[in-house]
Structure 1
Amino acid sequence: MTEVRLRFPPSPTGYLHIGGARTALYNWLFAKKNNGKLILRIEDTDTERSTDESIQGIIEGLEWLGIDFDEGPYFQTTFDGDHKAAAERLLQEGKAYKCFCTKEELDAKREAALAAKQSLGYDRTCRNLSAEEVAAKEAAGTPSVIRFKVPEREGRLGYDDSILGRIEADYKELDDFVIVRSNGKPLYLLCNVVDDIRDRISHVIRGQDHMTNTLKQILLYEALEAPVPIFAHMPLTLDTKKAKISKRSHGEIVAVQFYRDCGFIPWAFNNFLVLLGWAPGNDQEIFSKEELIETFSLERINKSSSIFNYRKNDPKFFTDPKAISINEHYLRTMEICELAKLVEPELKAEGLWQESFNGEKREWFLATLDLIRDRFHTLKDFTSLGRAYFGDDFTVEEKPLKKNVLKHDGLKEWLPMLADRYEQLDDFTLESAEQAARDLATELDIKPGIIINAMRTVVTGQLAGPSMFDILIAIGRKKVIERLRDVARLYPA
């Protein structure tokens, strides 16, 4: 195969989770680096569990991450005829056979094998049935599955995994596996191979949980006389208890949409995901899109499982600390105009957006974002911790209120006094605002910090943030005066 072609084939039985997103990202990076094509194929053959909601959620999650596809989405169910035709071909060519063993018979054989400490594999009872015997069972209405006939060869079947190295098994250890159920529906093993052949897939990058299928699928490629793709099996992403990350066990904390809704920057989250099992060979952790495409290679994917260190009950650092750290880096360093594009929908969702932020107040808006972003963790902080800059409906947090305001009854008079002085200033500047506050503290014979810290809490609702006087200029004289004069409302009645 001269063209590099890969696929991401999610099952639409739930949202796009961390493990699936990482698989999609690795496939996307490999395709981009090698000028290849990436196909989105929705494997929706599990009709009882597949939902339109899950399909839409997967597509939305990939779009948010910026993982684009060259072809698709294709839906596996639309190729049902191809899968059945491949099974029929294998039957006709003597590479598969109908098996009439019932579940009860198979269970009994398994129990007997266990008792005798023998192999639990299928004993090939139906492998050599004559055409007349098969016809008689069919005429009697006996249900059957279709099993693939593993070649009776000496030696070992194997492949060179691009991550794990050589993987082999003795032909004698391979079971005659089912490829079509008794209801006529082909199984994943066959469907996946037929689809990969049709889509001319050159590389299969997927999780290690699929390794149990790979040798069987190689036999199917060979039987269907198709080139075998290059396989690369990634170690799994585990939780802190070394359990596999899954939708059912971990809930929304492992869903990509959860991080979108929590205010993560899409590329920052990709930057975090790629490090869950891959390393560049040096200490670099922050990558632009172009850098990561250039640097990425299958050879540097770790052979051991990665740990997703989520902390579900911590309201501030609710997820892997590295994810937070990388997101903070992007918040603080990205081009301010790019950050503004991401903050705009957050402000709109909270009713804090003004069209003037893209008009006459554009310079102020960008400067304010630049002022406040250094202490923020996610985009949501602009509408929570930064809410006071964009509107008057903000919460004064309990801790700074008790520490900076309620300890001093005199502030009910002192802050309105400062508001009067701010109103009388000819120019409201950093220097004049600070001087007025310090002069008032001197006249009242109190420490300037009492006035300044109280002012921070009353004006922003916060305990910490940028320089207090930078804050005053950003919020503006009018709003600062209104908030200082309204300090009494914060005291108990």
Structure 2
Amino acid sequence: MSEQTPAPTPAADLPGPVRLRVAPSPTGDPHVGTAYMSLFNLAFARQQGGRFILRIEDTDRARFREDSEQQVFDTLRWLGLTWDEGPDVGGPCAPYRQSERLTTYRPYVERLLAEGHAYRCWCTPERLAEMRAEQQRLKQPTGYDRMCLGRTEEERRALPGFSEHPVVRMLVPDDVELGFEDLIRGHLTAPRPDDQVILKADGFPTYHLAVVVDDHEMGITHVVRGEEWISSTPKHVLLYRWLGLEPPAFAHMPLLRNENKSKISKRKNPEARLTWFEEEGYLPEALVNFLGLLAYPPAQDAEGNDVEVFSFADFVDRFDWREVNPVGPIFDLKKLDWLNGVHIRGLDLPDLTARLLPYLQRDGVLGADPSLGELARLEQVTALIQTRIAHLTEASDLVAPFYVADDAVEVAEDARAQLTDDAARVLDAAYAALEAVPDEHGGVLGSEATFRAPELEAALRAALVDGLGLKPRLAFGPVRTALSGRRVSPPLFESMEILGKASTLTRLATLRATL
């Protein structure tokens, strides 16, 4: 949907008693932190009957990536964390991309300059680097030394390190208020900021100016962001005050951390990429459940036990900012794997079958346009493996043997290695026993079909366990290998029922011929 540029809408006229936003930067694969922040923003917005806004902060043109914005849309929608206003759906505050709002910021900059709250700085990057190096050498606090403050362009041009393209800096007063209230952490105090750049040489605003202007013009009532922004909050409160604007409420979420307490990053952690979770076969509802647990206590049942499995609707119902844990949570993938398995087991069979299909097609188990017969078989196989997988990606290895030619089952090395000297005798006895079991195609006319799992188990136990005197593990191993080519497979007798009598016998004979 294309965005129009309406006249600014007074905040009081904007829809929603509360208005919250998430504002990712399109600089690569979306970070899992975008989903984490979206979850908490959206939960509060939905609980309060408010609005959730998606804004794209694309003023960092050096790191901008063309495909990143669409990835943000796709991954958040995959998770079900949908927005009421944004670049692709429009809304009363369009445009929702900062790069399309450049004319919005200029009047605010000019006002700050005119009222003495900001000044132009002509220092080159080289001059600033030398300044910081000298401050570090002298063990002084790093920050701009105000060389340009109070000077005209001509006066500054006569000094070293002059750039033709100035930036604009805010003039932070010595008595700047450093304390503010946080919905999660209570009263906070941040370090004194230096004279932050608010307009870059290329005409793009920095985060600090743009976030204040955009949040005001979009009527944002609650700013929910990572704790790394605590130190910037006094700058933002100062800008609100200078511009005569009402600041929003602030809530600074704890950062996601690795087991060694380091911040989770896309450079070092594949799971920091939001796209990774779908690639690895996680369910979106499991990831949402996991992200909620990272910074929020589980509910408790009547006996006082933790209820760690919940839906987004459950999370919304009991959400309270005072319950958010400010301590940086550990990103425990083992816990996520467990949750994913629980959610997989909770799916209806047709739903799980549909979710497995793209992974099976990706791995070449099924083609792009499977037949009705193939889909019907897939649902039968899915019923066998639903309790055996923790990731959707694990299905391909278990499902593949059901879609290969009976005389082309590939036997894995570890499966062949565990065949004993008795394997040929076992396969012969199994073949004879199963050949005698009738089915709907080969049985006595008019009789009930009996090539079913209970009858198959009874026949094989009689032939192999009772007849040959073998333990079940040794008795059924060669049969399992013949049917699936694997040491581990879906339940044996149910697999034979799905394959049918002809396929089962052909697979037994095929492996037997190689021994």
**TM-score grouping bracket, smaller chain normalisation:** 0.7 to 0.9
| 1:166-225 Cα deviation digits (max 9, x unpaired) | 11258xx34222212344432121112111112111111111122222111111112222
Kindly indicate whether the alpha-carbon contact (under 8 Å) linking 2:225 and 2:251 is maintained by their aligned counterparts in 1: yes
**Greater shift in the superposed pair: 68-77 or 394-403:** 394-403
Instruction: Measure, in 2, the Cα distance between the counterparts of 1:470 and 1:401.
Output: 22
Which stretch of the first structure deviates more once superposed, 440-449 or 11-20? 440-449
User: Which one of the candidate residues 173, 180, 187 is aligned to 1:159?
Assistant: 180
Q: Runs in 1 of length 4+ with deviation above 6 angstroms?
A: 138-141
1:486 is paired with a residue of what secondary structure?
A: helix
Matched ranges for 1:157-306 at <5 A: 157-169=178-190, 173-250=192-269, 252-280=270-298, 282=300, 283-306=306-329
Q: Indicate whether 1:475 and 2:495 are aligned.
A: no
- CA displacement at 1:49 relative to structure 2: 1.5
SS at match of 1:163: coil
Mapped to 2, the partners of 1:99 and 1:257 lie a distance apart of 41
Residues 1:145 and 2:167 aligned together: yes
Partner Cα separation in structure 1 for residue 179 and residue 209 of structure 2: 19
User: What is the alpha-carbon distance in structure 1 between the residues aligned to residue 410 and residue 319 of structure 2?
Assistant: 45
Deviation of the 1:321 alpha carbon: 0.7
Separation in structure 1 between the aligned mates of residue 195 and residue 461 of structure 2, nearest angstrom? 86
Q: In the alignment, which residue of structure 2 is the partner of 1:65?
A: 79
CA distance in 2, matches of 1:357, 1:232: 54
Taking structure 2 as the reference length, what is the TM-score of the superposition? 0.82
Aligned residue for 1:401?
Answer: 416
Give the structure 1 partner of residue 399 of structure 2.
386
1:470 aligned counterpart, secondary structure: helix
Find the counterpart in structure 2 of residue 460 from structure 1: 484
C-alpha change, 1:440 and 1:412, in structure 2 (3 Å) is closer
Q: Distance in 2 between matches of 1:290 and 1:109?
A: 53
CA distance in 1, matches of 2:504, 2:203: 73
RMSD over aligned Cα atoms:
3.0
Aligned AA (1:459): L
* 1:119–1:351 CA distance, 2 compared to 1 (3 A): closer
Query: Aligned-pair distance for 1:323?
Result: 0.9
Q: Give how far 1:347 is off.
A: 3.6
- Give the secondary structure class of the aligned counterpart of 2:63: coil
* Residues 400/221 of structure 1: CA separation in 2 closer, same or farther (3 Å cut): same
Are 1:268 and 1:327, in contact at CA under 8 Å, matched by a contact in 2? yes
Aligned 8 A contact 1:387 1:394 in 2? no
1:417 Cα shift?
2.9
CA shift in 2, pair 1:127/1:461, >3 Å: same
CA distance in 2: counterparts of 1:43 and 1:69, whole angstroms: 16
Cα separation, 1, equivalents of 2:129 and 2:385: 66
Q: 2:510 corresponds to which residue?
A: 486
CA distance 1:257–1:395, change in 2 (3 Å): farther
Describe the SS at the equivalent of 1:72: coil
CA shift for structure 1 position 307:
1.5
Q: Which residue of 2 aligns with 1:356?
A: 372
Q: SS where residue 370 of structure 1 aligns?
A: helix
Quote the offset at 1:125 in angstroms: 4.3
Letter in 1 for 2:187: R
Native 8 Å contact 1:7 1:40 kept in 2: yes
Contact 1:437 1:448 in 2 (8 A): no
Residue 84 of structure 1 pairs with residue 102 of structure 2: no
Structure 2 gaps, min length 5: 1-11, 88-95, 301-305, 445-449
- Matched residues in 2 for 1:346 and 1:114: separation? 53
Distance 1:396 1:366 in 2: 24
Question: Where does residue 40 of structure 1 map in the other structure?
Answer: 54
Shift of 1:123: 4.0
Q: Secondary structure at the match of 2:181?
A: strand
How many angstroms apart in 2 are the aligned matches of 1:202 and 1:490? 72
Tell me: CA distance 1:483–1:111, structure 2 relative to 1, closer, same or farther (3 Å): closer
Match of 1:18 among 7, 26, 32: 32
Aligned counterpart for 1:420 among listed residues 435, 438, 444: 435
Aligned CA distance change for structure 1 residues 111 and 50 (closer, same or farther; 3 Å): closer
Distance 2:496 2:424 in 1: 23
Partners of 1:406 and 1:139 lie apart in 2 by: 94
Question: Does the aligned pair in 2 maintain the 1:239–1:307 contact within 8 Å?
Answer: yes
1:439 aligns with 2:458: no
Q: Which has the higher helix share?
A: 1
Q: Secondary structure at the match of 1:376?
A: coil
Q: CA deviation at 1:416?
A: 3.4
**Aligned residue-pair number:** 471
Q: Structure 2 CA distance, aligned partners of 1:114 and 1:449? A: 70
Indicate the larger mover: 476-485 or 396-405: 396-405
Aligned match of 1:335 = 348
Contact 2:423-2:478 at 8 Å conserved across structures: no
Counterpart CA distance in 1 for 2:48 and 2:142 is 43
Pick which of 269-278 and 447-456 moved more.
447-456
Measured at CA, do residues 35 and 395 of structure 1 come closer, stay the same or move farther in structure 2, by a change above 3 Å? farther
Report % sequence identity: 32
